[in-house]
Amino acid sequence: MGKNYETVIGLEVHVELATKTKIFCGCSTAFGGAPNTHTCPVCTGMPGSLPVLNKQVLEYAVAVGLATNCDITQYCKFDRKNYFYPDNPQNYQISQLYLPICRNGYVEIETENGTKDIGIHEIHMEEDAGKLIHDEWDDCSYVDYNRSGVPLIEIVSEPDMRSADEVIAYLEKLKMIVQYLGASDCKLQEGSMRADVNLSIREVGAKEFGTRTEMKNLNSFKAIRRAIEGETERQIDIIESGEKVIQETRRWDDNEGESYAMRSKEDAQDYRYFPDPDLVPISLSDEFLDEIKSRQPEFRNEKMARYMEEYKLPEYDVNIITESKKMADIFENTVAIGADPKKVSNYLMGETMRILKEKEMDPQDISFKPEALAKLIKLQESKAINGKVAKDVFEVLFFEDIDPEKYVEEKGLKTVNDEGALRKVVEEVIKNNPQSVEDYHNGKEKAIGFLVGQTMKAMQGKADPASVNAMLKEFL
């Protein structure tokens, strides 16, 4: 005991690209189709079928490579990775081994000790496998090939991370870049972003890496964190007890909070890669790369600078609303139809973030329309509704497709601007609360707050608090 260990982590991240069709055939990539309704001879590996590369896959892969500071391999090709498994109908996966599309990149992450570059070894294009379904009571397994041939990029990092925090920061960064590019929605829970964690332990100061394990089945940031902590502990225990870590693939069980070695397939992992003769090489011209470069979107840093300059928003706001492309899009679209930037920003930073957190939702899941938020803000600006009502309506609008104007009208939530009615209620409240009135006259400014509250209650929340306050003061 007493030794200091260091955790060394590298990541293999698979990202499902947001194309309409599969990587090598014209089948739809849409989710939710009945089994095998999005299949053809190519993606079910029928003999004699010929794959043809989807140009959009290439463009997304290059765009991600450029955004992560990679060198683009201008002459690249596809290779076959050979293995037998029923979810892989060709008995090989089309991938890239010898000349991956992107190499030698990096992304910058924030750590508690400042910024740090995480190296990207390579990014390659490949196809996804089908889905195997097991029935406990059956002697058979069943295969749905709808996902077979869906395009993926695999982003392989260098072993540059040293903690779960760094891993999460790196994943968040990748996710943001890919989302800003519109190349994927990157949802871990739904599998459109998957991370395999390669982890080893060594004594602090050691030059050599320890033996690493690879962990799979990590479906959330929480699971990734727990798995890293669990595996670090497991490997330290092994080393401390004088034994050796075995290089193996382990499956994380998040319910048990434990990983276990996956039964190694009886065949050795010998993939016998070789160039795929069905696919001709790719030769990217400088013009092709320039074209993609010119289409790169405005990334977060540029957006932040512009929001501060153009909309005069504080840095604090800008930091939050540019964290996801989705949020930034909602902001821009709502402002574009005339809503006040600061007010839009307040709704996004405040209510929206609160609901997302409460419901454990991702900004990607936001479905309300910019028009709805703009209308709500207008209603509040014109004092047709007060702040409290506006917040309640926002909560409804967040989950349901409502027209705030109609909703407010139908539910009778409009502020009562009838001065006569308000005057009557205020008179009543003053009459019924002589103690508060006396306190107020004796210099207890706070007493008026209670009276405002009583008035608002009597008005069923449908009064403008400022007018109530003013009228109370007038009476007092």
Partner 1 sequence: MANVISDETIEYVGILAKLELSSSEKEEAKSDMGRMLDYIDKLGELNTDGIEPMSHVFPVKNVWREDVVTNGDDRDNIISNAPGEKDGMFEVPKTFE
Site residues for Zn ion per CB under 5 A:
25, 27, 40, 42-43
Residue 61 contacts residue 101 (beta carbons within 8 Å): yes
Here's the x/- map for partner 1, 201-240, by CB under 8 A: it reads as: ----------------------------------------
Distance between CA atoms of 344 and 356, rounded to whole angstroms? 16
Give kind and range of the element (H or E) at residue 197. strand 193-203
> In whole angstroms, how far apart are CA 197 and each of 44, 123, 224?
30, 16, 8
Torsion, Cα of 71, 97, 18, 328 (10° steps): -30
In angstroms, what is the minimal distance from the CB of 105 to partner 1? Answer: 24
CA distance 2 to 104: 37
* Region near partner 1 per CB under 8 A, out of 76-84, 222-230, 358-366, 448-456: 76-84
Among 6, 74, 81, 82, interactor with partner 1 by CB under 8 A: 82
Question: Smaller CB distance to partner 1: residue 85 or 311?
Answer: 85
Which x/- pattern over 241-270 shows residues binding partner 1 (rule: CB under 8 A)?
----------x----------xx--xxx-x
Nearer to Zn ion, 100 or 151 (CB): 151
Q: Which does 314 bind (CB under 5 to 8 A by kind): Zn ion, partner 1, none?
A: none
Q: Find out whether 96 and 126 touch, Cβ atoms under 8 Å.
A: yes
Sort 299 into a burial class: Cβ within 10 Å, 0-12 / 13-18 / 19+. middle
Q: By C-beta, is 25 or 344 nearer to Zn ion?
A: 25
Place of tokens 């512009």: 306
Helix H or strand E segment including 449 = helix 447-458
41 binds, among partner 1, Zn ion, none (CB under 5 to 8 A by kind): partner 1
- Amino acid at position 434, single letter: P
**In the complex, minimum distance from the CB of residue 180 to partner 1, in angstroms, rounded to a whole number:** 20
Rounded CA-CA distance 355/175 in Å is: 21
Among 283, 417, 432, 460, binds partner 1 (CB under 8 A): 283
Distance CA 45, CA 90 (A): 4
Which of Zn ion, partner 1, none interacts with 280 (beta carbon under 5 to 8 A by kind)?
Answer: partner 1
Taking CB under 8 A as the criterion, the residue among 11, 38, 231, 451 binding partner 1 is 38
Within residues 431-450, the interface with partner 1 by CB under 8 A covers none
| Contacts of residue 319, Cβ cutoff 8 Å, sequence gap at least 6 | 304
144 binds, among partner 1, Zn ion, none (CB under 5 to 8 A by kind): partner 1
The answer to the question of residue 144 lying near partner 1 (CB under 8 A) is yes
In 3D space, the residue among 200, 208, 168, 197 whose CA is nearest the CA of residue 7 turns out to be 200
Q: Which of 275, 298, 416, 476 binds partner 1 (CB under 8 A)?
A: 275
Residue numbers of the site for partner 1 (CB under 8 A)? 19-21, 25-28, 33-41, 44, 46, 52-58, 77, 82, 84-86, 98, 132-134, 138-145, 251, 262-263, 266-268, 270, 272, 275, 277, 279-283
